[in-house]
Structure formats: structure tokens, C-alpha cells
């Protein structure tokens, strides 16, 4: 239930509950007053009881007048006794008077009032203070109904009613205040509990507890807020993990670059000292030393160039020169260009299959770099003196897949997802000599950036790259989207 609906229901209850309770309380007060004022007999008031007795006398008197003009005294006493039994539980009494004497006297004497009542002819009511007497003629006799608790002005009744009204008013005020207090307290609790949860969650985030999640199950306005908070913490946790990974990669990058630059620098320094100290005493040795220095300088230049390219790609500050090319034709030309060079270095390139008219939008120079990085890894990791890599290209839905699978030693399953990390070493024992995935070996020492750069280039072109274990060796699969999602046919 939403908080808005709860507030609406609470407002209705704030009105209805005090009203209903006040009505019930008023009915209870009236019942108590009736009990007190009616001497506990449950009838409305003694005045009304007295008037009921008066009505009974009227009926009896008219019957005697019409049927029996001169009723028997014994019959009058019997009838008066029956009436007394009928009103036995009430403060009303009956008496019979005939020929100057009481045939059935009242229980308490009030001579002035009774003499005044008996002295007048006909049916009449006489009252004084709290005593009332009603005289009904019955032939020559008179039947009298007497009440000793008769209130002509009903001041006591008015006082009871006024007191009950005032008490009911204050009870109603207290009920309204009490109802509002408890309902408002409930509404505040419905709001304060989730607010406290959110406040506690913010404190957990401030304390770097990014794994904290709110557990809120009520279907109200705070449910989507808590859901958004959990999504925010998930995002923050992912960003923190990404930042930690970035920092780790940065440290590995610095360490790797320092190592890979120090190796050729050490060689350059050693050969220069050999020349200075005339260790290279012959012309042939000096030329050999100079050639080594030149190669090591080229190695350093390559490492710095790779680092520069990686930094530009990482910052999205490297412009792409995209062209729509037939991927099958591009792969065939690329293999023709590189096959002889890599065959001389012990790696045979076998092109088994390519698509036709499979146009993609790529930067040919950077894509050339991607393929070269993969081939350099295969050269570095060939299991024997001569190795082989098979290149196969084909259509898979709306993308072109280029699969490069070598026959090297491969890597462990745990290393597959980390091959594209900067300076990741699949084999920790191979920290020198260029034996690390992602390095460009052969002509250049490994920079540790080859596959990382390849991934960034392919991603910038809207494609993807991943590694697989085909059973023997390692396979790198590159996927590039077709232009406008066009399909192609194979040879």
C-alpha cells in the first residue's frame, strides 16, 4: 500500500473513529443517566412512569363509569391492588378513597396535598415539591395514583444531561487527539523507517562498504527509491572495482615498461662501454656492436611507439581512418604480404577460407597492426622450431569472423579472460626474453601491450575480440560488423 493511500485512510479514520466512539460513549452516558434517574429500573424517567399509571386509571375509571355506575368497594380494592402489582417495581403507588375514608391508603401520608386533591371534583393532577397525586373518579369512590419522586421542572434531569454533554464533548476531544496521535505516529513510522534505512545506507557508502544493499519489501513510494539506491551502490561497486583494476594495470604497465626499456638500455650501455674501452678492437667487432646498438634502439622505439598508441586508444584520442573494404580480399592481401616474412621466422600462415563481398568499415592500418600482434604472439609461443597458424574468415549473422588458430602450447583456461589485460603473464616464470602473451616477439622484444592494443582497436571499430582453446594451441577470434548488416556468399 502506498504512503499516499495510507495518509488518505488515516485522515478518514481520524474523522470516523472519534465520531463513532463519541456516539457510543454518548449512548452509554444516556444509559447510565437513565439508570440513575430511573432508580435502576431501566425505564426512561419516573415522570413517564407516573403518566403511564395515570393512563391506566383513565381506562379503569371510564369502564366503571359506563358499565358499573356504582362499583363495589371490594372490586375497587382488587383493581387498585392489580395496578399496584403492575407498577410494583416503580416508585408509583395506588390508593382508594370513598365516603371520607381510605379503603386502601397510600404508603406515606402527605395530608395537605391529599386533602387538596380529594377536595376537588373530577379527574385532576395535584403536585407539590417531589410528590404528585392523580385523582380518578370511579363512581362515588376515588382512585389515586401517587409518585413521591416527581419532578415538575425536571431540573435534575437537565443537570444530568448538561453534565453528560460536557463530559461527552471532552471525551470526544480526547478521542480525536488520541486517534490523531496514534495514526500520525504510525504515518511518521512508515516514513521514518525507510528514511533511517536510506540514511544508514549512505553511512555505509561513506564508510566504503560498497557491498551493502537495502532490503525493503513494502510496495510504497520508497520501494523504487531503495531500488535506485541499490543500483547506485552496484554501479559504485563496479566503478570501484574498475578503478582498482585500472590502478593495478597502471602499476603493471609502469613495471613492465620499465623492465622492457631497461633490458635494451642495459645492452646499449654494455656495447657502448665495449666500444669506449676498445674491447671491439677490430672493424668487424665495432660494426657488430653498432648493429646491436641500432637494433636495441629500434626495439626501444617500438616499445615507446606501442605505449604511445595504447595511451591514445585508452583516452579515445586516436582518430580512425575508416574505409569500407571487402574483408575477404583484405585478408588475402594481408597474408600474401606477411607470409614470406613469418615463414622465414618459423611460422607458416595457412589461409583456408575467406568470404566474398563481405564489406566492413575498418581502419586498414590499425587492423594490420591487430593481425600482426597476433602473429607475433604465435611466433613467440610456437612449441617447435617451426609452427603453423591457420586463418579462416566467414560470415556469422551480421558480422565477419576472422579466426587465427596456431599450434602452440596454448594457455590455461584461467588465463583466457586475462590475455587482453595489460602486461598479463600467463606463465609467471617467463618474465624475460619476451615470453609473455600480448608481446610482439621476433623483430622486437615484447612490450606486453600487443593484445591489449588489439582489443582497443577492434572495439573502436565496433567489433569484438576474444580467445579460445580449440584443443591444441590458442585461437583468437575477431568479429567485425558488416556494413549495413549485409550478408555475403563464400567461395
The per-residue pLDDT for 404 is 93
The per-residue pLDDT for 445 is 38
Residue 112 to residue 109: CA distance in whole angstroms: 9
The per-residue pLDDT for 263 is 78
Least confident of 89-98, 383-392, 432-441: 432-441
pTM for the model stands at: 0.48
Question: Is the predicted pLDDT of residue 87 greater than 50, yes or no?
Answer: yes
| 46-147: CATH class | alpha beta
Least confident of 169-183, 288-302, 471-485: 169-183
Confidence bin at 442 (pLDDT 50/70/90): very low
The per-residue pLDDT for 401 is 93
The per-residue pLDDT for 33 is 60
The per-residue pLDDT for 65 is 54
Q: What percent of the chain is modeled with pLDDT above 70?
A: 79
Least confident of 130-139, 174-183, 242-251, 449-458: 174-183
Confidence bin at 168 (pLDDT 50/70/90): confident
Please compute the mean of the pLDDT values over residues 350-379 and round it to a whole number.
89
C-alpha 15: how far from chain center: 32
Residues 6+ apart with CB under 8 A from 449: 306, 307, 309, 310, 422, 423, 438, 439
The per-residue pLDDT for 229 is 85
The per-residue pLDDT for 436 is 33
| 210-318: CATH class | mainly alpha
Give the end-to-end CA distance of the chain in Å, rounded to a whole number: 65
**C-beta of residue 100 within 8 angstroms of C-beta of residue 142:** no
Cα–Cα distance list, 84 to 138, 182, 235, 273 (Å) = 17, 55, 93, 147
Confidence bin at 324 (pLDDT 50/70/90): very high
Give the cell for residue 404: 587465427
Residue 409 to residue 407: CA distance in whole angstroms: 7
Residue predicted with more confidence, 268 or 168: 268
Residue with cell 375509571: 61
Tell me the domain boundaries of the chain. Answer: 3-39+155-197, 46-147, 210-318, 319-490
**Tell me: the pLDDT tens digits for 107-153?**
888 888 888 888 887 788 888 777 888 888 877 788 888 888 776 55
Give the cell for residue 148: 413521591
Question: Is the predicted pLDDT of residue 41 greater than 80, yes or no?
Answer: no
Handedness of CA 33, 36, 42, 47 (dihedral sign): negative
The per-residue pLDDT for 257 is 72
Confidence bin at 7 (pLDDT 50/70/90): low
Mean pLDDT for the chain overall: 78
Please compute the mean of the pLDDT values over residues 279-308 and round it to a whole number.
82
The per-residue pLDDT for 393 is 92
Confidence bin at 43 (pLDDT 50/70/90): very low
The per-residue pLDDT for 66 is 53
Residue predicted with more confidence, 361 or 261: 361
Most confident of 28-37, 174-183, 309-318, 454-463: 454-463
| DSSP line for 378-446 | HHHH-SSSSEEEEEEEEEETTEEEEEEEE-S----GGGGGGTTSTT--SSTT--STT-STT---SSS--
Confidence bin at 334 (pLDDT 50/70/90): very high
Q: Does domain 319-490 have CATH number 3.30.565.10?
A: yes
Residues 6+ apart with CB under 8 A from 108: 148
Question: Is the predicted pLDDT of residue 181 greater than 60, yes or no?
Answer: yes
Question: Is the predicted pLDDT of residue 483 greater than 70, yes or no?
Answer: yes
Residue 333 to residue 37: CA distance in whole angstroms: 119
The per-residue pLDDT for 440 is 34
Amino acid at each position: 500500500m502506498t504512503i499516499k493511500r495510507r495518509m488518505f485512510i488515516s485522515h478518514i479514520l481520524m474523522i470516523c473513529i472519534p465520531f463513532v466512539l463519541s456516539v457510543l460513549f454518548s449512548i452509554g452516558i444516556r444509559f447510565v443517566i437513565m439508570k440513575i434517574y430511573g432508580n435502576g429500573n431501566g425505564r426512561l424517567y419516573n415522570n413517564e412512569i407516573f403518566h403511564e399509571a395515570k393512563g391506566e386509571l383513565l381506562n379503569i375509571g371510564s369502564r366503571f363509569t359506563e358499565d358499573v355506575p356504582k362499583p363495589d368497594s371490594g372490586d375497587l380494592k382488587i383493581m387498585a391492588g392489580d395496578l399496584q402489582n403492575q407498577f410494583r417495581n416503580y416508585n408509583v403507588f395506588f390508593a382508594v378513597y370513598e365516603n371520607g375514608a381510605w379503603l386502601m391508603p397510600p404508603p406515606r401520608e402527605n395530608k395537605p396535598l391529599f386533602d387538596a386533591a380529594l377536595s376537588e371534583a373530577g379527574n385532576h393532577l395535584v403536585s407539590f415539591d417531589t410528590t404528585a397525586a392523580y385523582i380518578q373518579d370511579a363512581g362515588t369512590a376515588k382512585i389515586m395514583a401517587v409518585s413521591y419522586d416527581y419532578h415538575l421542572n425536571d431540573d435534575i434531569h437537565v443537570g444530568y444531561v448538561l453534565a453528560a454533554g460536557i463530559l461527552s464533548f471532552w471525551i470526544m476531544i480526547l478521542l480525536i487527539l488520541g486517534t490523531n496521535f496514534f495514526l500520525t505516529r504510525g504515518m511518521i513510522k512508515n516514513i521514518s523507517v525507510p528514511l533511517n534505512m536510506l540514511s544508514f545506507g549512505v553511512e555505509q557508502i561513506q564508510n566504503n562498504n560498497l557491498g551493502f544493499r537495502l532490503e525493503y519489501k513494502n510496495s510504497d513510494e520508497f520501494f523504487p527509491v531503495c531500488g535506485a539506491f541499490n543500483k547506485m551502490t552496484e554501479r559504485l561497486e563496479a566503478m570501484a572495482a574498475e578503478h582498482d583494476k585500472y590502478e593495478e594495470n597502471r602499476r603493471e604497465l609502469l613495471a613492465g615498461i620499465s623492465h622492457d626499456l631497461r633490458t635494451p638500455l642495459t645492452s646499449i650501455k654494455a656495447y657502448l662501454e665495449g666500444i669506449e674501452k676498445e674491447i671491439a678492437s677490430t672493424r668487424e667487432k665495432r660494426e657488430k656492436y653498432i648493429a646491436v646498438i641500432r637494433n636495441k634502439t629500434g626495439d626501444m622505439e617500438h616499445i615507446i611507439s606501442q605505449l604511445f598508441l595504447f595511451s591514445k586508444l585508452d583516452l579515445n584520442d586516436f582518430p580512425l581512418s575508416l574505409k569500407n573494404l571487402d574483408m575477404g580480399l583484405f585478408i588475402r592481401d594481408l597474408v600474401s604480404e606477411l607470409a614470406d616474412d613469418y615463414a622465414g621466422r618459423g611460422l607458416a600462415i595457412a589461409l583456408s577460407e575467406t568470404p566474398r563481398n563481405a564489406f566492413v568499415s575498418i581502419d586498414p592500418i590499425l587492423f594490420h597492426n591487430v593481425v600482426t600482434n597476433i602473429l607475433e604472439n604465435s611466433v613467440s609461443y610456437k612449441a617447435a622450431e617451426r609452427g603453423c597458424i591457420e586463418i579462416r574468415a566467414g560470415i556469422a549473422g551480421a558480422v565477419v569472423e576472422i579466426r587465427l588458430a596456431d599450434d602452440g602450447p596454448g594457455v590455461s583456461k584461467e588465463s583466457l579472460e586475462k590475455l587482453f589485460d595489460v602486461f598479463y603473464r600467463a606463465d609467471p616464470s617467463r618474465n624475460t626474453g619476451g615470453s609473455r602473451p600480448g608481446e610482439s616477439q621476433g623483430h622486437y622484444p615484447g612490450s606486453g601491450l600487443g593484445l591489449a592494443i588489439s582489443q582497443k582497436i577492434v572495439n573502436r571499430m565496433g567489433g569484438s575480440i576474444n580467445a579460445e582453446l580449440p584443443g591444441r594451441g590458442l585461437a583468437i577470434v575477431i568479429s567485425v560488423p558488416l556494413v549495413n548488416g549485409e550478408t555475403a556468399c563464400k567461395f
